[in-house]
Structure 1
Amino acid sequence: MSTGATAELVVGGRSVRYRDTGAGDTVVLVHGIGRSLEDWTEQHDLLSSDYRVISVDLPGFGWSDRLEGPTTLKRLSAWLPAFLDELGVTEPVHLLGNSLGGAVTMAFAAEHPERVRDLVLVNSAGFGREVALGLRLLALRPLTRVLLRPRRSSAARTLRGIFHDPSFSTEERVEQAYVLAQRPREAMLEMGRDLGTVRGVREGWRRDLLARLAEQDLPTLVVWGARDLILPAVHLEAAKTALPHARTHLFLDTGHMPQIEQAEAFAELVRDFYRG
């Protein structure tokens, strides 16, 4: 087990970057599109005193190798069991997913409910069509390749869209986002086309996935930031309708990543959910 730094693991012949801290019941953290496991740094620090906390760069994102063949929601969610198996995690886990990571964890739970204790969905994809223009443009291949050219100014603009409080768009985070933007982006483009069009997130996969999840009545907490500019907070109301058994929480004056912007309150909310 890693004690704080990231480590590498080979899954299906391809290198995967992950972080593994703490001890106890296992919590698995899954990041959003175009992002990396660094989005969970604060939660590693806050939750590892009581839990084994694992975050991972999904295949084709961060510093993990791509899958062989196209990157899709179905293939990412099917990859998670193999990753956990390689780590020796066979017991049911607590799953947390932010943005795309929410959709990945929902799909994993729908397919492998016996491996999931509960779900925490953080500003998760899957509850509505509306999504930021930049992500809708992923469906337009020639234009997107121009827009995704790495620039520090673009990295700073992305962070301003993620965080409501501008103090979180630090120089360190801008530099990190700029370095990340220089990594291969093909998986991001493939995911954008798999999940949506220029008009927004596709309805078909959302409807089918939520119907399967609702049937399972899995303990679920849905969390949102009221000032999310990526996936609007109105999706929280849609989540209440789609998953009537779920607990919900809205963080005021918070953007797309409550796990960072409201780190301590978020961790306490998760702990309370687990205790419940």
Structure 2
Amino acid sequence: MTLALPPAEELTVAGRRMRCRIDGHGTTVVLLHGIGRTLEDFAAVHAGLARDHRVLSVDLPGHGGSAPLDDPHTLPALAAAVAGFLDAAGVTGPAHLVGNSMGGAVAMRLAADAPERAASLVLVNSAGFGKEVTFALRLLAVRPLARLLLRPHPAVARRSERAIFHDPAYVTEARIATALAAARQPHAARVMLELVRSLGTWRGVRPEWRAELLDTVAALDLPTLVVWGDRDLILPAAHLSFARSRLPTAQGHLFRDTGHMPQIERAAEFEALVRRFWSPSGAAAPA
């Protein structure tokens, strides 16, 4: 197993490298991955949308091939880094912000802090809509266990990938190798712990940041699509109902027999769904 991140580009943002892919021409789309993940989680959708959009995928600071921040890694810090990345990439107008898991919360934070950057939100099994989260992430808030649990190991990487997908066929050797390569970066464990502890405790996701963020996003009244996989083991599908109650103008869609990453397990359907959402009629498929 070759433990290396797949080839990608790099931009220098505030003196730090940010690993990214930028392709295509047209309306700008920004794809944001989840905690401990990389831009590879959006590879298929990136390629599909780049046929007629300008698509930017990026490793968030301290993830994959992007350098860590000097300050603690928090949701506002990641959102600010994405804003800097967009500036470095020459994005001057609003973009469609698409985020999976923690990436959804980063997209919402960016829209809340800089509304002029957001044309719409697509929130994919997004953090921010409930207290419940997988036990594995809650354990990382327990200091004596955290370092032990974050030691890179092929068996741990395989088990983590298996928890993400409903269909085990998606747990490929290439995905396991990418996960291990990202976990073996010298700063990876520190960044993960900073984020986990800023977002939650062993009891679950903290309510304070969720309430403030959702109030702010709801007030923006941005076009928003919230999608979920009904077999998500990381953030339960029940969060979709809460999301639609907190963002009453949002559209919603539930993918059947799908885990935490519909953009991978249902790549073609996901791409078609967001294209309909972004169309002039703005109507995605019914939930």
What TM-score, normalized to structure 2? 0.93
Task: State the distance in 2 between where 1:193 and 1:43 align.
Answer: 31
Contact 2:29 2:54 (C-alpha < 8 Å) held by counterparts = yes
Report how many aligned residue pairs link the two structures.
273
Alignment partner of 1:201 is 2:199? no
Could you tell me which residue of structure 2 aligns to residue 100 of structure 1? 102
1:134-176 CA distance string (max 9 Å, x none): 1111212231100111110101100110000011001221222
| Structure 1 runs of 4+ with >2 Å offset | none
Task: State the distance in 1 between where 2:85 and 2:258 align.
Answer: 32
Could you tell me which residue of structure 1 aligns to residue 265 of structure 2? 261
Bigger shift: 189-198 or 43-52?
43-52
Letter in 2 for 1:64: S
Secondary structure of 2:103's match?
A: helix
State which of 25, 34, 47 in structure 1 corresponds to 2:27: 25
Task: State the distance in 2 between where 1:116 and 1:170 align.
Answer: 34
Could you tell me which residue of structure 2 aligns to residue 131 of structure 1? 133
TM-fit CA distance, 1:223: 0.4
Could you tell me which residue of structure 1 aligns to residue 91 of structure 2? 89
Task: State the distance in 2 between where 1:182 and 1:261 align.
Answer: 26
Contact 1:128 1:235 (C-alpha < 8 Å) held by counterparts = yes
State which of 211, 218, 223 in structure 2 corresponds to 1:219: 223
Contact 1:222 1:246 (C-alpha < 8 Å) held by counterparts = yes
Could you tell me which residue of structure 1 aligns to residue 76 of structure 2? 74
Could you tell me which residue of structure 1 aligns to residue 3 of structure 2? none
Task: State the distance in 2 between where 1:156 and 1:28 align.
Answer: 28
Task: State the distance in 1 between where 2:144 and 2:83 align.
Answer: 34
Secondary structure of 1:29's match?
A: strand
Task: State the distance in 1 between where 2:55 and 2:228 align.
Answer: 21
Counterparts of 1:133-152 in structure 2 under 5 Å? 133-152=135-154
Task: State the distance in 1 between where 2:204 and 2:268 align.
Answer: 32
Could you tell me which residue of structure 2 aligns to residue 160 of structure 1? 162
Task: State the distance in 1 between where 2:12 and 2:176 align.
Answer: 29
Contact 1:60 1:185 (C-alpha < 8 Å) held by counterparts = no
Task: State the distance in 2 between where 1:154 and 1:59 align.
Answer: 23
Could you tell me which residue of structure 1 aligns to residue 40 of structure 2? 38
Task: State the distance in 1 between where 2:117 and 2:149 align.
Answer: 39
What TM-score, normalized to structure 1? 0.97
Secondary structure of 1:211's match?
A: helix
TM-fit CA distance, 1:202: 0.3
Task: State the distance in 1 between where 2:181 and 2:68 align.
Answer: 18
Contact 2:231 2:257 (C-alpha < 8 Å) held by counterparts = yes
Letter in 1 for 2:172: T
Contact 1:224 1:256 (C-alpha < 8 Å) held by counterparts = yes
Contact 2:22 2:56 (C-alpha < 8 Å) held by counterparts = yes
Task: State the distance in 1 between where 2:154 and 2:218 align.
Answer: 42
TM-fit CA distance, 1:185: 2.0
Secondary structure of 1:185's match?
A: helix
What runs of 5+ residues in structure 1 fail to find an aligned partner? none
Could you tell me which residue of structure 2 aligns to residue 180 of structure 1? 182
Calculate percent identity across the aligned residue pairs: 58
Contact 1:28 1:94 (C-alpha < 8 Å) held by counterparts = yes
TM-fit CA distance, 1:5: 5.1
What runs of 5+ residues in structure 2 fail to find an aligned partner? 1-5, 283-287
Contact 2:140 2:149 (C-alpha < 8 Å) held by counterparts = no
Measured on the aligned residues, the alpha-carbon RMSD in Å equals 1.1
Letter in 1 for 2:118: V
Q: In structure 2, do the counterparts of structure 1 residues 7 and 39 end up closer, same or farther at CA, with 3 Å as the change threshold?
A: same
